[in-house]
Amino acid sequence: MSFTTPYFSLPKFTYYKPDNLTDALTLLKQHSGKARVLAGGIMLVNMMKERMVFPEYVIDIKGIDELKNIEITQRGVEIGSAVTATELQKSDIIREKCPSLAKAASYMGDKILQNSVTIGGNISIGMPSTDGLPALMSMDALLEVKNIERTRIMPSSDLVVGIGKTSLGTDEMITKIIVPYRDGLNGTYAKFLNASEVAIATAAVSYTVSKGKLRVVVGAISAKPYYFDESLLGWKWDGTIDENVRSVVEVIGSSIKPMSDAVASSEYRKEVSKILVSRALRELFGGE
């Protein structure tokens, strides 16, 4: 067995570890199109091993402190893109203000990988199996995307444009995730895996009692997660849980068109999605 063969080795690249954001963005601009950002490395390292990507430069952003903060500002809860899944689960701010994200983080790989997986990396590869994106979309989260010249804010629902494709420019990176502050925000996340732990479907639900918002996001069944709000779902705040769940499941069943692949068929994914959504709703609102 030779360790220069694919799968056991990585292609050649030059490694940089900038200690501030300006340097990182400058490098990304300078090597635009030839550089990839490395955070946890779970996706990037595996993609390089399988020779799916051949970056000439790898820019490690783990040395940049401002990307590792979780803080509350007037914009809402701001999460640095290099915050790990373990840190998300441990953080009191995330557990209280973004419960669906805290739950989703507990599904990002196993307990050891969670020490490496970052929220930015989890969403920015653009794979359907992301756990972070459905949770963020259910909270109408915004993404702060930077290149060296400008900063733009975009809705998390605009990030993914296809399987493995995002709307990020080659010189851009996600620096922060902003979850707008909402009084009484609650939520949860459900996931169904096959025997080799590949996601068949995921469901993220977030709601606020005071402003009467309900969001249901179904992920892992298509390139982009499906997003529903309370008016689409026919949700009645004064209705019983059974009648609401029935209406939601019906709407979801008739609106989603899941993909078929080696993991699961479209029909199976649809049934699993409906069950996951009703489980998540019952977890939050009671009922059996």
Partner 1 sequence: MIKLRTITMMVNGLSREVNVDDNELLLNVLRDKLGVTSVKAACWRGECGLCTVLLNGVPVKSCMTLAVEADGKEVVTAEGLYSDERARKLQESFVEHGAMQCGFCTPAFVVTSHYVLSKNPEIEGEELKKELSGVICRCGTYYQIYDAVKDARKYYKQ
Binding site for partner 1 (CB under 8 A): 3, 7-15, 17, 38, 41-42, 45-46, 48-49, 58, 60, 62, 109-113, 115-116
Q: For CA atoms 261, 262, 263, 267, give the dihedral sign.
A: positive
Beta carbon nearer to partner 1, 13 or 268: 13
CB 217 within 8 A of CB 227: yes
Contact in structure between 118 and 79 (CB atoms under 8 Å): no
On whether the CB atoms of residues 148 and 29 are closer than 8 A, the answer is: yes
Whole-number minimum distance, CB 157 to partner 1, in Å? 29
Return d(Cα 139, Cα 187) in angstroms, integer.
Answer: 9
Q: Which residue(s) pair with 165 in the sheet?
A: 162
**In this structure, are residues 108 and 141 in contact, taking their beta carbons and an 8 Å threshold?**
no
For partner 1, give the closer residue by CB, 197 or 288: 197
Contacts of 123 (CB under 8 A, 6+ apart): 130, 132, 133, 136, 156, 159, 174
The distance of closest approach from Cβ of residue 112 to partner 1 in the complex, given in angstroms and rounded to an integer, is: 3
Shortest CB 189 distance to partner 1, Å? 16
**19-39 as b/e: b if 16+ CB within 10 A:** eebebbbbbbbebeeebbbbb
DSSP 8-state code for residue 226: E
Q: Compute the least distance from the CB of residue 51 to partner 1, in Å.
A: 12
Angstrom CA distances, 189 to 49, 58, 161, 193, stand at: 31, 33, 23, 13
Tokens representing residue 186 in the block: 């609650």
Q: How many residues does the chain have?
A: 288
Closest distance between partner 1 and the C-beta of residue 61, in Å?
11
Whole-number minimum distance, CB 42 to partner 1, in Å?
6
**Side-chain half-sphere CA neighbours of 134 within 13 A:** 36
- Nearest CB to partner 1, comparing residues 14 and 151: 14
Q: Which of 13/192 has CB closer to partner 1?
A: 13
3-state SS assignment for residue 59: strand
> What's the closest the beta carbon of residue 224 comes to partner 1, in angstroms?
25
Smallest distance from partner 1 to CB 68, Å: 14
Q: Tell me, what amino acid is at 63?
A: G
113 vs 148, which CB is nearer to partner 1? 113
Alpha carbons 204 and 225: distance in angstroms, whole number: 10
